Amino acid sequence: MPSLEEDRILRRYVGVIRGTLRTNYYQRAREAPHDASTTQPTVALKLSPATIPGMPAPQPLYEIWVYSPRVEGVHLRFGKVARGGLRWSGRREDFRTEILGLVKAQIVKNAVIVPTGAKGGFFPKGLPDPAVDREGWATKGREAYQLFVGALLDLTDNLVDGMAVPPPRLVRHDGDDTYLVVAADKGTASFSDIANAIARTYAYWLDDAFASGGSTGYDHKAMGITARGAWASVQRHFRELGRDVQRDDVTVVGIGDMSGDVFGNGMLLSPHIRLVAAFDHRDIFLDPDPDAARSFAERRRLFDLTRSSWQDYDRSLISAGGGVFSRSLKRIAITTPMRTALGLTDAADELSPNDLIRAVLKAPVDLLWNGGIGTYVRASEESDSEIGDRANDPVRITGAELRARVVGEGGNLGFSQLGRIEAARRGIHLNTDAIDNSAGVDTSDHEVNLKIPLSGLVQIGELTYKQRNRLLAEMSDEVARLVLEDNYSQNLLLGHSRERGGKRLGAYLRLLHYLEDRGLLDRELESLPSDQELHTRERVDEGLTSPERAVLLAYVKLALKQDINASGLPDEAWFSHELRRYFPHQIRERFPKLPDTHPLRREIISNVVANSVVNLGGMTFAQRSLEETGATMPEIARAVVLAREVFDIDRFMQSVKALDNVVGTGVQARLHRESRRLLDRATRWILLERPSNSDLGSDIDRYRPGVAAFEQRMDQLLNGAERTRFETDVAELTRAGVPEDLARWAEGLLDAFALLDITDLARGAEEDLTDVAELYFAVTEQFDVDGLLTSISTLPRDELWDSLARSAVRADVYAAAKSLTASVIATTPGTLEVDQRLRQWIQDNAAAAQRAHRSLQQLHELPEPGLAAVSVVLRHMRSVSRSGSAVAGWTLRGGRTAGTTEPGK
């Protein structure tokens, strides 16, 4: 081939042919399956993009391309188990680019649910002008959707009696592929019943779980679930600012109108919303000085109308200088109240509608609430053409121009990622759309995973179809609670991560490298900072922005889910408990064995465990555990679950949650740091001390009773300086508004870590747990273990080797404390009181004990104790338990004397 260009084109054709896995070309039309002359109305190809040269990133696992004279479409799927909506696209030339951008966001959003991301889009052809024939346009669009959905099912295996059954007249160049689910999206909000009817004609195993929503599914607008999830982000941001949006008035500008799901529901979530301005594709609403109560009631009235627009707003309720203005006007007069509310400095007496919308987006308000469609904020370094939303080019602003204090992204793609980052670096509180509006996809995923087993009960006659639907409706509140708990947990994690600012950027950098090395993350594609940029930020104590942390959080969860699902962990019997955590209590109580039969049992367990590990431990936790112990990710996850159950961390977290808007987020962060420090040390202990194949239930039974006996009364075991430190910290927390019982629980968490060693010591020596615990803490008080651990906490940890050394020497301190206690138990009679046993043991090991105490004093005299000094102290501590000398006269700390000879010798 003499022409380079022709050679390239032909090689691409060959690549596509080789990358084709399935086609429906040889199938017959479903309405005439035995008539060879009746061919399919579409041609569909299932492709493997990763094997096709030149495919743009990110590359999905599977792509289905659909063509017919009436419709073209594409469906991109990033895993065998994936979900996402089908969009009626208006972009004939580049709808694949549109869908690829959407699915990239979907992958991140789906980190909190069982499936990974998928997205589909279709472009109907030959439609009449909707301005002339609206009904004909809608009918032809629905028919195009039906053709598109049928083509997807043409290439999808069915599941019959647990076995994959491929479609007829189909050659497969891939493995079984039975899981295809879809959802509503732009232009297809009312199409779920249509999709499910098509699935039934194929006898597809998911039945009406194929397309979530619809007449037998969860109505997201009626539940208000997407808005409620995004509102959880808004509440968190304002709590960090010291405000409660449910009690304090907040000024708001928004994108959308009251007839919309996300905007309408969102603007009814607090009676203290003062909506200053909003716009949709038709009108601009302005109320410069709104009355919160009266405007709330009017928004409720509009929301309850069958269809409404801002033009339906009662003008008598709009404050002076405001109004509702059509976007078709040439110019809009600017009043003094408008100028004040929008912070306009321009002296112009009138603006074009587009300029007024830009002023609304730039308004100096408390909250910008996005409940609309379109991208309205980009970065200064980006051009409008790079955004790919030409319709909103005239109104788009930059992140640097944004003046709202908080952003709630109920809608998708309202900001470019670089626009978010630019805004965040200027102090604006925001996450990403994937975090804020994940409740919608989370609810859909619960719906599908409930319908699958319940439909099985219908098939065997245990439930009627009506009873199943009634049960689904009964569970809607519980499903909403489970979903909103996910939103809360992710916001909590991001909030604590932000609170740490630029600290520990080294750990984040290593995490980025880890994800990149595994081929899971493309930093450039996700707009994450380079190594050089991170080092620059570190020098000025600037960390990752919240939008950057949100993206990283998603990839951490996706990676952990992947690892757990590929391991044997989901098959362990105990993890059926994790499976049940996913389901509403109605299922757990009425059909307790039903979850175990779920075809996605492993995937659900992997999702629940991965989310729990990351939410409790933090983004860098699992990767740091891997660095420090060499354990696999599933082993780390298993250890976290054991630690969580033994120390009842979930209950502790709920107790801290109850303090929302009672104490500041900084106080709550301090409480959570204590639980994370415990989780960190307990997980590493479990990985190093317990066999990886031990029975999890037995391990919980082994350690939980001892922890439960003391977890809220650790102060009773502490002595001397440890007891003083404990009481001082408890008093500080109670002054900050923390209930005393919770303050004592929190401050005792790190001390309670020792109960793991204490339990093993008591079982090994067959002694009473309380006696051993009292002896252990008497030993740690004598050797100032608390002070030694404090010295270790000052050691550097940003670099990997520093972090590993710090962790190792801390573990050595606990090992030394255990060894010293074991020595006391082994060499003194159990019939003696604790003080007597310790006195006798010190007397028998006085020289070595005195040496260790002297080195401890020298350590504390150092202005900055280093690793070398700590290591020497540890060596002296370990030598005590091996010492056989009996120099009398050693004085115990606290004034107790071990012998009768002259003190100090």
Report whether pLDDT(452) > 90: yes
> Any idea which of 36-45, 315-324, 334-343, 837-846 has the lowest mean pLDDT?
36-45
Report whether pLDDT(896) > 50: no
pLDDT of residue 891: 41
pLDDT of residue 901: 31
- Over residues 55-75, the mean pLDDT reads 95
Report whether pLDDT(811) > 50: yes
246, 247, 248, 251 alpha-carbon torsion, rounded to 10°: 40
pLDDT of residue 792: 86
What letter does residue 892 receive in the DSSP assignment? Answer: P
Q: Please give the backbone phi and psi of residue 429, each rounded to the nearest 5 degrees, phi first.
A: -90, 115
Q: What is the SS3 assignment for 798?
A: coil
| Structure-model confidence comparison of residues 722 and 323, the more confident one | 323
Report whether pLDDT(899) > 60: no
Residue 41 CA to residue 31 CA, distance in Å, equals 11
pLDDT of residue 689: 92
CB 188 within 8 A of CB 145: yes
CB contact set of 365 (below 8 Å; sequence gap of 6+)? 251, 252, 253, 276, 403, 404, 405
pLDDT of residue 30: 61
CB 572 within 8 A of CB 696: yes
Rounded percentage of the chain residues whose pLDDT exceeds 70: 96
The pLDDT-based confidence of 152 (bands split at 50, 70, 90) is very high
Report whether pLDDT(895) > 60: no
pLDDT digits (tens, 9 = 90+) for 552-577: 999 999 999 999 999 999 999 999 99
pLDDT of residue 903: 31
pLDDT digits (tens, 9 = 90+) for 173-198: 999 999 999 998 889 988 999 999 99
pLDDT digits (tens, 9 = 90+) for 699-740: 999 999 999 999 888 889 999 888 999 999 999 999 999 999
CB contact set of 581 (below 8 Å; sequence gap of 6+)? 608
Rounded to whole angstroms, what are the CA distances from 689 to 314, 754, 772, 821?
69, 13, 19, 17
Q: What residues form DSSP beta bridges with 82? A: 116
pLDDT digits (tens, 9 = 90+) for 484-513: 999 999 999 999 999 888 788 889 999 999
What letter does residue 183 receive in the DSSP assignment? Answer: B
- Over residues 234-238, the mean pLDDT reads 98
CB contact set of 809 (below 8 Å; sequence gap of 6+)? 792, 795, 867, 870, 871, 874
Report whether pLDDT(379) > 90: yes
pLDDT digits (tens, 9 = 90+) for 350-373: 999 999 999 999 999 999 999 998
- Over residues 113-126, the mean pLDDT reads 95
- Could you write out the three-class secondary structure of 840-855? HHHHHCHHHHHHHHHH
| Structure-model confidence comparison of residues 479 and 796, the more confident one | 479
pLDDT of residue 869: 85
Task: Give the pTM.
Answer: 0.91
CB 125 within 8 A of CB 72: yes
Q: Which active-site residues does the annotation give? A: 119
pLDDT digits (tens, 9 = 90+) for 403-420: 999 999 999 889 999 999
The pLDDT-based confidence of 843 (bands split at 50, 70, 90) is confident
The pLDDT-based confidence of 885 (bands split at 50, 70, 90) is very low
pLDDT of residue 5: 87
Q: Round the average pLDDT of the chain to a whole number and report it.
A: 92
Kindly list the structural domains of the chain, giving each domain's residue range(s) and its CATH number in brackets, ordered by start. 12-215 (3.40.50.10860), 242-428 (3.40.50)
Peptide bond into 53 cis (omega under 30): no
pLDDT of residue 262: 95
Residues 482-498, buried b or exposed e (16+ Cβ, 10 A)?
A: bbbebbbbbbbbbbbbb
pLDDT of residue 892: 43
pLDDT of residue 423: 98
The pLDDT-based confidence of 95 (bands split at 50, 70, 90) is very high
Report whether pLDDT(904) > 70: no
pLDDT of residue 499: 87
pLDDT digits (tens, 9 = 90+) for 14-55: 999 999 999 999 987 665 444 555 567 999 999 999 999 989
- Over residues 161-173, the mean pLDDT reads 93
pLDDT of residue 225: 96
The pLDDT-based confidence of 882 (bands split at 50, 70, 90) is low
Report whether pLDDT(785) > 90: no
CB contact set of 113 (below 8 Å; sequence gap of 6+)? 83, 438, 441, 442, 445, 607
- Over residues 189-209, the mean pLDDT reads 94
Rounded percentage of the chain residues whose pLDDT exceeds 90: 77
